[in-house]
Amino acid sequence: MDAVTALTVAATPQSVKWGFFDATTPQVITVASGTEVVVETVSGEPNCLPTEPAFEILPEHRPILDAAERGAGPHLLTGPIRVEGACPGNVLAVDILDVTPRQNWGFNLIIPLLGTIPDDFPDYRLRILPIDLAAGTVAMPWERR
C-alpha cells in the first residue's frame, strides 16, 4: 500500500491526547493487520511555540492545545490506533516507513532537574530549531562550553 492509499489519522483536538494513553482511551481508528497508516502529529506546548513570523505554526496546533484531553505528561500523542484481532499480551510489529516534518521548525527544551542526567543541565533553555523542508535538514545551534 502506498502513501496515496494509506489511511490517515489527522492531528485534531479529538484525536490527540496531551500527556497520556491508558487502557480506557478509546481508539481513534481501527485497522486490519498490515494496513499502512499515516499519523499526523504536533509537538510543543504553548511556551514552546516560536514567536518569530518566519516559523509556521500548523493551523490545528493551537486548537489542539486549547481542547485536547489532558493527562499528567507533556507529550502530544495522536491515537490510539486499534489493530483488529490484537489482544492484550500480543506483540505488534510496527515499521516506520517515513518521517516527514510538517512545519519549518522544531525545538529543544531543557527543564532543570528533569531527564536522565539532570545535574549536567541545571539551566532552563528553549531553542527553536529551523528546519529546511526542501533539504531535509535542521540547523543545530551547537555551542562550545
25-64 pLDDT, tens per residue? 999 999 999 999 999 999 999 999 999 999 999 999 999 9
Nearest Cα neighbor of 38 from 105, 98, 91 is 98
Longest dimension (CA), the chain: 53
**CA 137, 143, 144, 145 torsion: positive or negative?**
negative
More confident site: 95 or 140: 95
CA–CA gap between residue 22 and residue 112 (Å, rounded): 28
Please state, rounded to an integer, the average pLDDT across all residues of the chain: 92
Q: Does 135 score more than 70 pLDDT?
A: yes
Cell numbers at residue 51, please?
514567536
CA–CA gap between residue 57 and residue 106 (Å, rounded): 10
In the block, which residue shows the cell 499528567?
72
Q: What's the average model confidence in pLDDT over 123-129?
A: 93
Please state, as a whole number, how many other Cβ atoms lie within 10 Å of the Cβ of residue 7: 14
Q: What's the average model confidence in pLDDT over 118-143?
A: 90
What percent of the chain has pLDDT above 70? 95
Nearest Cα neighbor of 53 from 104, 12, 108 is 104
What pLDDT, on a 0 to 100 scale, did the predictor assign at position 4?
A: 52
CA–CA gap between residue 87 and residue 145 (Å, rounded): 50
What pLDDT, on a 0 to 100 scale, did the predictor assign at position 50?
A: 97
118 in Cβ contact with 105 (< 8 Å): no
Cell numbers at residue 126, please?
528553549
Range name among 2-6, 33-37, 130-134 with the lowest pLDDT average:
2-6
Q: Does 3 score more than 90 pLDDT?
A: no
Q: For residue 81, give the 3-state DSSP assignment.
A: strand
Q: Does 142 score more than 80 pLDDT?
A: no
29 in Cβ contact with 10 (< 8 Å): no
